[in-house]
Amino acid sequence: MRLAGKAALISGAARGMGAAEARLFAREGASVAIGDILEAEGEAVEADIKAKGGEALFVKLDVTSETDWQRAVEAAVSRFGRLDILVNNAGIGGASRLEDTTAEAWDRMMDINAKGVFLGTKAAVPAMRRAGGGSIVNISSQLGLVGMRDSSPPYQASKGAVRLLTKLTALQYAGEGIRCNSVHPGPVVTAMTERRRADPATYQRMVDRIPLGRYGEADEVAYGVLYLASDEAAFVTGSELVIDGGWTAQ
């Protein structure tokens, strides 16, 4: 098993890609803490992993709260005895023209998508140091690499911020054996993209931009996250793993 003996904390793991990562990590031998604001969904993922013989724990986590992050890391360490992996996955999406974007909407998205990654990293590093090293995987987006006219200003800015925060984290903690990499998914079938997929014209416009001609599946991203989380990626830090069906190749 690729994560045998390791303990992981994944934010936003109650559904979507985070839940796919939690299930995959557990199948690969990791103990997994599922952090999310969605309690019922998070507890269901925990129960499902346990029913299949895995080790899991749901922790209530709002990624914008430093106190919640400290509690989540403490809960994971106290249950699993260590923390080796953090996946900063929680995020919100949206679309808005720049002039129609309120300052409040900007702050909310930046708080969840960018500050949440900073706070999670800050809370997890001391525990990883005690474990003798670790791997942090930050979920950015293909929209952290290139612009898209009908995205939203704080989505693009927050995902770009995650990309470079990843590199600083990689540089500041490489000496302690803590690696940090970003993942850049393209459009994936999750609740976040439900509205775009429900409208046939919007769906077609998106698919037309994807050379592989379809949306990705959550598991197709989870396998990339698994690689970066595992010791197979022991020489990989500060890098960007693009899983976007070819979106950014053109």
Positions touching ligand NAD (CB under 6 A) are 11-12, 14-18, 36-38, 61-64, 89-93, 112, 139, 141, 185, 187-188, 190-193
Q: How many residues does the chain have?
A: 250
Q: How far is the CB of 64 from ligand NAD (least distance, A)?
A: 5
The conformation of residue 213, written as its DSSP 8-state character, comes to: S
Q: For residue 14, what are the contacts with CB-CB under 8 A and spacing of at least 6?
A: 34, 36, 37, 38, 39, 41, 42, 44, 45, 58
Q: How far is the CB of 36 from ligand NAD (least distance, A)?
A: 5
Asked about 155 being catalytic, the answer comes back as yes
The two beta strands, 240-243 and 178-185, are parallel
Residue in the structure block whose two tokens are 């952290």: 144
Nearer to ligand NAD, 112 or 178 (CB): 112
CA distance 1 to 194: 33
| C-alpha dihedral sign at 162, 42, 217, 153 | negative
Nearer to ligand NAD, 22 or 131 (CB): 22
Nearer to ligand NAD, 11 or 131 (CB): 11
Q: How far is the CB of 14 from ligand NAD (least distance, A)?
A: 4
Which active-site residues does the annotation give? 155
